[in-house]
Chain A
Amino acid sequence: MRRITMLAALAGPVAACRDEAPVRTGFDEPVRVVDGFLREGDLPIADGGPEVTAVEVTNAIALMGQRGRGLGGRVDDDTWAIGVRFASLGSGWWIHEVGDIAALFPGERDFALAYDVGTGIPPGLHALRVAAIDGEGRRGPPIDLDLCVLEDAVPAGLNPCDPTLPPPAVVIGVAWNRDVDLDLVVETPGGKRVSWKAPSTATPEDGVVPEGDLEDPHVGRLDRDSNAGCHADGRNSEAVVWEEDPSAGTWGVYVDLFDACGEEDVTFTASVYRRRVREDGTFRLEETERRRGTLVADYDAYGGAEAPLFVVAVELP
């Protein structure tokens, strides 16, 4: 009994003095600060707390999943750390230490950090909130920076952030779930197959696409060859984009598993988006078709030697 009492006496002070910092990778957060620590929940607020005196950003347009975006500036001298989060997204603040006294700005400190933009954020304008944190772990008044976040898999221009700007007229896209070399193939009404080998709907003459044809907004263009050669690019999506309506007819959508890159299978989603005009004259991109399927490495990965898998046929425009 005496031993149990001694253990309890030992455990009491140990438990009392523990101020544990829960550590999470934050891979599922909408913003991730490199070399930062995620603190769940909100920070206590200090009246008259430290302030962010200057913020420097390079670009106010961000792509989902974009890495290493820079954020710098200055804070009050009594600042210990800088906190970063999206104002209306995410589960907490990212904490990053501040630097030494700013040489050119007496009474202020520099800060500089890099952050990654997460995936799964609704495309559009979001407020990136920055706040200075004092020695008690309390934050001062925040500064909100407008950040236009665009979805990479569905090229829509700046329309998600400014609906008055028109998105592309038609987008046919495919996205998939594993790091495989999957190719989107779109067959034109004229029979041309648009893919990584022929990345536009323009009709070649004497084997060459005329130079001016690629400037034609009615010509669709493949935006990328994702994971080409099994070099994972983190995109796992491809799309053919028409700035203006394509030629009328039936368009075929196919997918081709060029290389499974060591994966067993891949599940893909093929979608068709079309531009719509709202009553107030603003624009939006609407998904009009969606098909889902699975390709198995043993049966479907032939390096382009076999016919691609037919997914859907759509009437355009």
Chain B
Amino acid sequence: MIVGALAGSASSRAVAAPAGDERAYGGVTEVAPTAPADEHDDDQDPPSREEFEAMRRRLEALERRSAPVPVPPPTTPRRPPITTGPETGIPAVGFGPPLTPADYGLRLSGYVQTQYLHNQRSEDQYQQGGRPLNRDGFAVRRGRLRVAGDWRYVAFAFELDGSTTRGPFVGVRQAHVSALWRNPDATRPPYVMVTAGLTEVPFGHELRVAQRDMMFMERSTGSLALFPGPVDVGLRVRGGIGPFRYDVAVMNGSPINDVAGSAGFDPTRKPDVAGRVGFEARPRRLEISGGVSFLTGTGLHQGQDATKNQLEWIDLNENGSIETAEIFSVPGTAALPSVRFGRWAVNADLEIGVRSRLGWSRLSGEITLAQNLDRGLFVADPFAAGTDLRHIQAYGAFLQDATRWAVFGLRYDLYDYDSDLLVSSRGRAVPADASIHTISPLVGAVLPAGVVAGIRGRLMLQYDVVLDALGRDRRGVPANVKNDQITVRAQVEF
């Protein structure tokens, strides 16, 4: 902005305010201080008429030569005036001048996922304890609002989630600050980035994919079982040098559940350690990345509260009436201690992308071997089971762009929550397969960026064919439960 003033008849100047001042002042025109005009020396004789005329011509010639360049009017909108009530002095409209996050160097973004889900297991009943068994219905799966700042050495992000998945709920999904040593090439990750706070667990591939970018509705069954949520609180160090990537974190070990409304505090003092080393390269029309990950941590077998003495009635003859022989004393018991147990996991992942005239073709897969790590589906408790629980999780996914406007894909995932499972069959314990196989075809329409200013989005449909052994057939033998589900989801991002 040009700020100027005319001082006297023979002196003028223009002052260019720095950009920072422009932001600070918000477009308000300021009058710059001026230098005092030259004063005549009263002791000298006044100039003659000829001298005066000569000076006037010189001055006019100088002024013509240095004619001022036309200054465009300021384009930055001025702040609207703050109006106040006639008596109170309180702003009559709003709470102050309108500001945007950009005024503070921040970025505001977000997205909304709203969906309809139908599951074959839905039932118009309440479970014991009052939880509805119906799973069909509309829901706001995720409604995220993110504020982030990214400067040369420091960055932060804060993300809120509003969801109706388990009733209306608002919670924190990201909250971290980072110190960075940037790569001079801005397209590459920083050499070192130290992050503290609520951030992603660095394990495998699927867990680190931002949920706004994930095409499939949810992570694979096994990933959801081992990591109920993708974020945990801790300290994380990551970065990259050339094609190599590293990512290590020390975290509480209690991921915040991705399904809103559930939370918990880590019951063990010892933190979990997770990390991944890998590579990432983009030669020409290819994208290839992969890595190996590890996790080691602790879980807790919950003890039992102390109890008081009680009387218990057992209806031995099933006649619904109390008789003397049916009353028993139940002495109180002392509290039972909780016991810590170890858990671990290792993982390998590989992702390959090829760009063609149709768009990107992406193939990804990973496999995880774990022990006592299930925290979301069949919560692992080796003390209750009497033995360590070994898990296998794997998936392979294929996604294909169909021009900019559509995408389709297929994912197969496998989760075996107990590789050593024994079940009772006709009175005998026999080995059983506890694997859950899910085949998920997906198709969707995409609204790419740039078509509608400021937003992009997609409308996706996914059918999950679930093959498991959680039911029983007519012989009482484990059988596949009828529990397929279909999801239609719309996502809009800004």
Contacts and interface: CB of A to CB of B under 8 A. Distances in A.
Interface of A: 3, 7, 10, 14, 18-25, 27-28, 37, 39, 43, 58-59, 61-63, 66, 69-70, 80-81, 95-101, 109-110, 133-138
A81 B426 CA distance: 8
B318 A66 contact: yes
A265 B125 CA distance: 21
A39 B472 CA distance: 9
A133 B480 contact: no
B133 interface: yes
Nearest to A58: B318
Given A61-B319, A80-B476, A18 B471 contact: no
Contact of B476 (A10, A20, A59, A97): A97
B20 interface: no
B34 interface: no
29 contacts: A3-B400, A10-B439, A14-B465, A18-B467, A18-B480, A20-B471, A20-B480, A20-B481, A21-B471, A22-B120, A22-B482, A23-B121, A23-B483, A25-B127, A37-B472, A37-B476, A43-B474, A58-B316, A59-B319, A63-B320, A69-B318, A80-B477, A95-B473, A95-B474, A95-B475, A97-B424, A97-B427, A135-B475, A136-B475
Given A58-B317, A61-B319, A21 B473 contact: yes
B425 interface: yes
Contact of B482 (A21, A27, A134, A135): A21
Interface in B424-454: 424-428, 439, 441
B479 interface: yes
Contact of A98 (B317, B400, B427, B439): B427
A25 B439 CA distance: 26
Nearest to B424: A97
Among the interface residues B316, B427, B474, which one has the most CB atoms of the partner chain A within 10 A?
B474
Given A80-B475, A137-B474, A100 B125 contact: no
A25 B123 contact: yes
Nearest to A99: B427
Interface of B: 120-121, 123, 125, 127, 133, 316-320, 400, 410, 424-428, 439, 441, 465, 467, 470-477, 479-483
Contacts of A21: 471-473, 479-482
Contacts, number: 102
Contacts of B471: 20-23, 37
A137 B133 CA distance: 28
B428 A100 contact: yes
Contact of A25 (B125, B424, B473): B125
Nearest to A63: B320
